[in-house]
């Protein structure tokens, strides 16, 4: 969809959800948001989807590639089938905002929320942008109130109070910060406050934040969570970061958490844990952007637009023979995003992929990886096994994490981009 598309959520509820292969996953039942402490539109975190036996799961908005009048289509990848449980700071749009009374700014009338529209912004986030409300009329008349549309910031009654208790106001303040800055903010808080914030953040957000923390701090924070939640966080993390984190724990703790994870999520993490830390296998992610030879340029560009991808991983796609999941069929080559942009949308990626920048084996050392990236001016390099099957890719940000001096995250830069804004209390 284009950035200007608008979807009313009451109308969205009940339509079918499909995976990229065309198989039906379930039906949309609601959307999840988190209200803010000001009047700015809140971000939509994801959709509540009802699958078989009235079982409801959470699907992050980053997995949604297309919304049509009669269907929602998801991107490829594993869907977490754990039952959805709303957190205290989360709000169900259809279940909790519809029929809510609000006050209109222009004339002070009381109105009732009939529907809420979400809209995709340029950064690919979905936000609640507009409201369809029915204004109340005098009790002396039998007429129904007028149905009008207003911007989210044109009403009172849907923002958190500035004096909100608990973690609501602080979590709302942290919502607009980069994950690295939230990690810095958590480090400045007391242990009690840190645990409260971790409990209030949704799994995807907490996983993003933990990936920006030192491994020692990750271990402490993960240990403070219930084991079921800890397993959910590991599933939401990038598989290489999850493997690194588990590698800091005892063998018994590793196995217990891996057993609690979904098998499809645990398998690539287990595989990564078999490699030495400072090798291509230990550094790589097993989930780069992988395309089959018959995929088109348009399909490849749609995949790299996924906001959950790091810029380094989104810079190229890897073309392989089936199967598509790692370890794949035979590796055919890499198609860089610049090459994709120069070709017509209907062209096949197999026709423009190249292999002359080489590959690495899983046992390549950190210095081998660094040298390879520098020689070919790459931001990521494919890793293949002895049978020329793609097993993953190492990106430049993975390398930087290991060649920067220990404790680099705690260093104070001249311009403290990661410092906590004055509006964020330290707890």
357 preceded by a cis bond (ω within 30 of 0): no
Q: Provide the pLDDT for residue 138.
A: 53
Residue 272 to residues 58, 183, 228: CA-CA distances in angstroms? 27, 25, 22
Q: Provide the pLDDT for residue 420.
A: 41
Q: Provide the pLDDT for residue 310.
A: 86
Q: Provide the pLDDT for residue 164.
A: 44
- Average pLDDT of span 377-391: 96
Whether this model's pTM surpasses 0.75: no
| For the chain, domain boundaries | 1-170, 177-274, 290-403
Q: Tell me, yes or no, if the two domains 177-274 and 290-403 fold the same way.
A: no
Q: Provide the pLDDT for residue 146.
A: 81
Q: Look at residues 83, 89, 64 and name the one whose alpha carbon lies nearest to residue 74.
A: 64
CB contact at 8 A, 119 and 127: yes
Percent of the chain with pLDDT over 90: 56
Sole residue written with tokens 């009329």: 137
CB contact at 8 A, 63 and 74: yes
Q: Which helix (H) or strand (E) holds 380?
A: strand 380-384
Q: Look at residues 342, 347, 304, 300 and name the one whose alpha carbon lies nearest to residue 319.
A: 300
Residue 418: pLDDT band with limits 50, 70, 90: very low
Q: Which of 67-76, 159-168, 251-260 is predicted least confidently?
A: 159-168
CA atoms within 13 A on the CB side of 75: 22
Q: Look at residues 128, 82, 425, 415 and name the one whose alpha carbon lies nearest to residue 260.
A: 82
Does the pLDDT of residue 142 top 50, yes or no? no
Residue 261: pLDDT band with limits 50, 70, 90: very high
Helix, coil or strand: residue 53: helix
- What confidence tens digit (pLDDT) does each residue in 28-54 have? 999 999 888 777 899 999 999 999 777
Does the pLDDT of residue 139 top 60, yes or no? no
Residue 167: pLDDT band with limits 50, 70, 90: low
Which residues of 197-242 form beta strands (DSSP E)?
A: none
- Average pLDDT of span 5-14: 90
User: What tokens appear for 403 in the block?
Assistant: 């060649």
Q: Provide the pLDDT for residue 141.
A: 44
Does the pLDDT of residue 396 top 70, yes or no? yes
Does the pLDDT of residue 163 top 80, yes or no? no
- The topology under which CATH files domain 177-274 is MgtE N-terminal fold (1.25.60)
CB contact at 8 A, 222 and 230: yes
Q: Provide the pLDDT for residue 86.
A: 85
Residue 2: pLDDT band with limits 50, 70, 90: very low
CA atoms within 13 A on the CB side of 174: 27
Does the pLDDT of residue 283 top 90, yes or no? yes
- Average pLDDT of span 297-313: 88
Dihedral of alpha carbons 29, 33, 35, 40, sign:
negative
- What confidence tens digit (pLDDT) does each residue in 90-134 have? 899 998 899 889 999 888 889 999 999 999 988 788 999 999 999
- The topology under which CATH files domain 1-170 is SH3 type barrels. (2.30.30)
How many whole angstroms from its chain centre is CA 306? 9
Q: What are phi and psi of 324, to 5 degrees?
A: -85, -30
Average pLDDT, the chain: 86
CB contact at 8 A, 104 and 135: yes
**What's the burial of 54, exposed, middle or buried (CB within 10 Å: 0-12/13-18/19+)?**
exposed
Q: Domain 290-403: what homologous superfamily?
A: CBS-domain (3.10.580.10)
- CB contact set of 108 (below 8 Å; sequence gap of 6+): none
User: What tokens appear for 63 in the block?
Assistant: 């997995």
Q: What are phi and psi of 396, to 5 degrees?
A: -65, -30
- What confidence tens digit (pLDDT) does each residue in 208-247 have? 999 999 888 999 999 999 999 999 999 999 999 999 999 9
Give the end-to-end CA distance of the chain in Å, rounded to a whole number: 41
**What's the burial of 294, exposed, middle or buried (CB within 10 Å: 0-12/13-18/19+)?**
exposed
């Amino acid at each position: 969809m284009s950035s200007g598309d608008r979807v009313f959520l009451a109308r969205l509820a009940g339509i079918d959800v499909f995976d990229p292969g065309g198989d039906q996953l379930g039906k949309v039942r609601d959307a999840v948001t988190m209200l803010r402490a000001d009047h700015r539109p809140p971000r939509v975190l994801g959709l509540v989807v009802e699958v078989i036996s009235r079982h409801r799961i959470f699907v992050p908005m980053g997995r949604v590639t297309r919304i049509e009048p009669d269907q929602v289509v998801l991107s490829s990848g594993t869907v977490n089938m754990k039952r959805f449980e709303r957190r205290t700071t989360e709000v169900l749009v259809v279940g909790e905002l519809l029929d809510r009374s609000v006050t209109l700014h222009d004339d002070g009338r009381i109105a009732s929320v009939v529907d809420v529209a979400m809209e995709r912004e340029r950064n690919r986030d979905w936000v609640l942008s507009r409201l369809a409300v029915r204004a109340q009329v005098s009790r002396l008349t039998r007429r129904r109130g007028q149905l009008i549309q207003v911007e989210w910031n044109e009403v009172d009654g849907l923002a958190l109070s500035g004096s909100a208790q608990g973690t609501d106001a602080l979590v709302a303040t942290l919502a607009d910060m980069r994950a690295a800055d939230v990690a810095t903010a958590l480090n400045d808080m007391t242990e009690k406050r840190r645990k409260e914030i971790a409990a209030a953040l949704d799994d995807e957000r907490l996983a993003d934040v933990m990936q920006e923390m030192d491994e020692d701090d990750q271990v402490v924070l993960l240990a403070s969570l219930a084991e079921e939640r800890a397993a959910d966080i590991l599933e939401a993390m990038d598989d290489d970061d999850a493997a690194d984190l588990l590698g800091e724990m005892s063998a018994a703790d590793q196995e217990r958490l891996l057993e609690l994870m979904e098998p499809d999520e645990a398998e690539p993490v287990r595989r990564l844990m078999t490699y030495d830390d400072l090798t291509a296998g230990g550094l790589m992610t097993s989930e780069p952007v992988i395309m089959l030879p018959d995929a088109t340029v348009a399909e490849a560009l749609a995949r790299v637009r996924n906001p959950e991808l790091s810029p380094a991983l989104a810079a190229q796609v890897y073309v392989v023979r089936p199967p598509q999941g790692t370890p794949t069929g035979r590796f055919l080559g890499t198609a860089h995003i610049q090459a994709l942009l120069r070709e017509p949308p209907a062209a096949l990626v197999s026709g423009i992929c190249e292999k002359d920048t080489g590959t690495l084996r899983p046992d390549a050392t950190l210095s081998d990886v660094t040298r390879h990236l520098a020689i070919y001016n790459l931001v990521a390099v494919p890793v293949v096994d002895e049978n020329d099957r793609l097993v993953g890719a190492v990106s430049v940000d993975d390398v930087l994490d290991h060649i920067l001096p220990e404790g680099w995250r705690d260093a104070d830069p001249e311009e403290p981009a990661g410092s906590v804004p004055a509006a964020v209390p330290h707890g």
